[in-house]
Copies of this chain bind each other. A is one copy, B any other.
Amino acid sequence: MQKEKVCSKKKCFSPEVIKRLSLYLRDLKNLQEQEVEVISSDEITKMLDISSAQFRKDLSYFGEFGKRGVGYEVSFLIRELEKILGIYRWWDIALVGVGRLGSALLGFSGFPQFKLRITAAFDNDRKKIGKAISGVEVKSLEEMPAVIKKGGIEIGMICVPPQFAQSIAERMVGAGIKSILNFAPVSIKLPAEGIYIANVDMACELQTLVYFLNRRH
C-alpha cells in the first residue's frame, strides 16, 4: 500500500487508520453475533492490541459515533464504518492464478461479509480453463481484458508464481484494474499512476516471528 497521507472532511491521517477501522469493523461484527449491543472504547480495544485513545481518535477523523458516558451502539457503529470504508455495494475481484492459493481464496467464506466477491478467475493452464472452482469458471488470460471491462472490475488478486507477477500486474492494469492485492513474493513496479497495490508476504511475516524467537535468549 502506498504511504501518502489521506484526507477526510476533518483532517489528514495515515492509511494505517483505515486498516485499523476495518479491524474494528471485523470485531464489531463478531460482537454483534454475540448480541452485544453497546461497547466502550476500552472494552473493544482490549481484544485488539490498540489503546482506547487510538480507537477514539481514529473515529474522530470521520465524525462522532459514540455517546459520552455510555459507549458505542454496535449496530450503528457497524453501519457508519461500512459507509466510511465503502461497503455500500459489492466490490468484484478478478483473480489470476488458480493454483493452491488461488483455489483457497476462491473458496474463502470471509469475503462476502465485507461485500467482496471474486467474480472472475484466470489461469494459463489449459487443463484448468473451463472448470468451475467454488462456482467461478476459470477463464483463459486472453479473455481477461474483456471480462474485466464488461464487469467493471477494479480489484485484482495475483496468485501466480513470482516470475510472472509483474507481467500479470501490467496486463491487469491494462485491462482496467485499479488496485491489486499481490500474494507473489516479489516487489511489483506500479505500471501506472494512481494504482494501489498491497502485498501479503507470508514468509516475511514468519521471518519477523523468527527474529523475535531468536533473540529471546
A210 adjacent to B85 (CB under 8 Å): yes
Question: Which B residues are CB-close (under 8 A) to A101?
Answer: 104, 108
B86 adjacent to A187 (CB under 8 Å): no
Known contacts A1-B208, A154-B213, A187-B47: A23-B100 contact under CB 8 Å? no
Number of copies: 2
Contact of A208 among B15, B206, B210, B215 (CB under 8 A): B15
Total residues of chain A contacting the partner, CB 8 A: 66
Q: CA of A206 to CA of B203 in the docked complex: distance in angstroms?
A: 19
Q: CA of A41 to CA of B104 in the docked complex: distance in angstroms?
A: 37
Does A56 count as interface, using CB distance less than 8 angstroms? no
What's the nearest-Cβ distance from chain B to residue A185, in Å? 5
What's the nearest-Cβ distance from chain B to residue A27, in Å? 6
Known contacts A27-B187, A201-B23: A49-B2 contact under CB 8 Å? yes
B206 adjacent to A93 (CB under 8 Å): yes
Q: Which 3 A-B pairs have the closest CB atoms?
A: A86-B214, A22-B207, A100-B104
Other 6 A-B pairs with CB < 8 A, given A19-B207, A100-B108, A198-B208:
A86-B210, A101-B104, A110-B202, A114-B203, A181-B209, A200-B202
